[in-house]
Amino acid sequence: MTATPGYSAAMATAVIDIGTNTLLLLIVDDTMHPLVDLCRFGRLGKGLDASGRLAAESIAASLDICREYRQVMDAAGVSAPIIVGTQALREAANSQDFVAPAQEILGAPIEVIAGEREAQLAFTSVARTFPELAQAPYVVVDVGGGSTEIIVSNGTKVVSAVSLPIGAVRLTERHLRHDPPTADETRALFADIDGRLAQLELPMAVPVVATAGTATTLAAMALRLDRYDAVAVTGLRLEAMAIDAQLARLLSATLVARRAIRGMEPQRADVIAGGVAILARVMHRIDAPVMITCDRGVRWGLAYERAAR
């Protein structure tokens, strides 16, 4: 990959978001135009819910992605990226087994951020992407592999932000062991999510804005995209009934069938049902009139912060 013609590396900002399921690289110019926006699946959180540790093969795969990203940044003429790690690195007892070599490869420190900080970054991204939402309350839901951030906004600022230890990878490993899942597994999945949501004070009948890969894949499925399109999925509005229908389809399909769905990222197919279940249960919990999809998540929040400075 080469640098986009006509821009200086001194004008570019690189951000890496290291999550439980994916590693994301974003490079933007000084006008916040994306020059590079990559997603790779390291699955750092594989087995973490049961073991409390990062698996050796996940560390190795994620370090290979770091090497790829270093090459991309070198080709783009960007030296030091901003790097954050989220739930898997917050939780794993052996997180340094990944962090130390990753920092050496990437040439910059990795900041393992708290869930509240992750939530704030997701909100920043949504607020900048959809300024028209500033007139009324809404709820931001950022479903990750190991955690889900839920942010309540009054339209102009964050009223509350929590990070729940439920995510697409974690819930799949915990509950969905058959292919396709059994009815008992599905009931246990819903009960786990509902139990977490019951602890929260959330506004009723307000829109949900959903960020991260589960939401964007759900949108791509709804649009039946043959090739992912960030512009097309951002701003897509889905009602609870449509999300329920997609969830029922995912829970009744085998892994092979899920991978063949138009709009599906094949590497996300094994855990997508657990993630979509979180979105569906949030929609019902607050009787949300609509879910609005946002492709711009934590990585963009960091880039917006850097631009503001």
CATH code for the domain of 102: 3.30.420.40
Give the model's pLDDT for residue 102.
98
Of the candidates 226, 207, 225, 170, the one whose C-alpha atom is nearest the C-alpha of residue 294 is 207
Give the model's pLDDT for residue 10.
54
Residues 161-180: what's their mean pLDDT? 95
Domain co-membership, 220 together with 284: yes
Asked if residue 307 is part of any domain, the answer here is no
Residues 254-272: what's their mean pLDDT? 96
Domain co-membership, 31 together with 147: no
**Is the pLDDT score of 127 beyond 50?**
yes
Residues 48-67: what's their mean pLDDT? 97
**Is the pLDDT score of 6 beyond 60?**
no
Domain co-membership, 270 together with 139: yes
Query: Into how many domains does the chain fold?
Result: 2
Asked if residue 106 is part of any domain, the answer here is yes
CA distances from 303 to 24, 34, 84, 105 (A): 13, 10, 12, 21
**Is the pLDDT score of 79 beyond 90?**
no
Domain co-membership, 97 together with 245: no
Q: Which of 4-13, 68-77, 186-195, 287-296 has the lowest mean pLDDT?
A: 4-13
Which of 113, 130, 165 is the C-terminal boundary of a domain? 113
More confident residue, 111 or 6: 111
Give the model's pLDDT for residue 309.
77
State the pLDDT confidence band at 244, using cuts at 50, 70 and 90: very high
Domain co-membership, 136 together with 206: yes
Domain co-membership, 184 together with 221: yes
Domain, as residue range, for 64: 9-113
Sole residue written with tokens 């050796």: 56
Domain co-membership, 90 together with 30: yes
> Under a CB-based contact definition with an 8 Å cutoff, are residues 162 and 140 in contact?
no
Give the model's pLDDT for residue 200.
96
> CA Rg, the chain, in Å?
18
Q: What is the pLDDT of residues 183-230, one digit of tens each?
A: 999 999 999 999 999 999 999 999 999 999 999 999 999 999 999 999
Give the model's pLDDT for residue 155.
87
Residues 144-156: what's their mean pLDDT? 93
Asked if residue 268 is part of any domain, the answer here is yes
Asked if residue 303 is part of any domain, the answer here is no
Domain co-membership, 74 together with 121: no
Give the model's pLDDT for residue 7.
44
Asked if residue 1 is part of any domain, the answer here is no
**Is the pLDDT score of 2 beyond 80?**
no
Domain co-membership, 227 together with 290: yes
Asked if residue 278 is part of any domain, the answer here is yes
Tell me the CATH number at 226. Answer: 3.30.420.150
Please state whether beta strands 208-211 and 34-41 pair in parallel, antiparallel, or not at all (unpaired). unpaired
**Is the pLDDT score of 8 beyond 80?**
no
Please state whether beta strands 208-211 and 237-238 pair in parallel, antiparallel, or not at all (unpaired). unpaired
**Is the pLDDT score of 97 beyond 50?**
yes
High-pLDDT (> 70) share of the chain, %: 97
Which of 66, 85, 113 is the C-terminal boundary of a domain? 113
Asked if residue 193 is part of any domain, the answer here is yes
Residues 131-143: what's their mean pLDDT? 94
Of the candidates 264, 145, 139, the one whose C-alpha atom is nearest the C-alpha of residue 210 is 139
Domain co-membership, 209 together with 77: no
Domain co-membership, 99 together with 150: no
Q: How far apart are CA 304 and CA 309, in angstroms?
A: 9
Domain co-membership, 54 together with 172: no
Asked if residue 4 is part of any domain, the answer here is no
Which of 79, 113, 147 is the C-terminal boundary of a domain? 113
Give the model's pLDDT for residue 201.
95
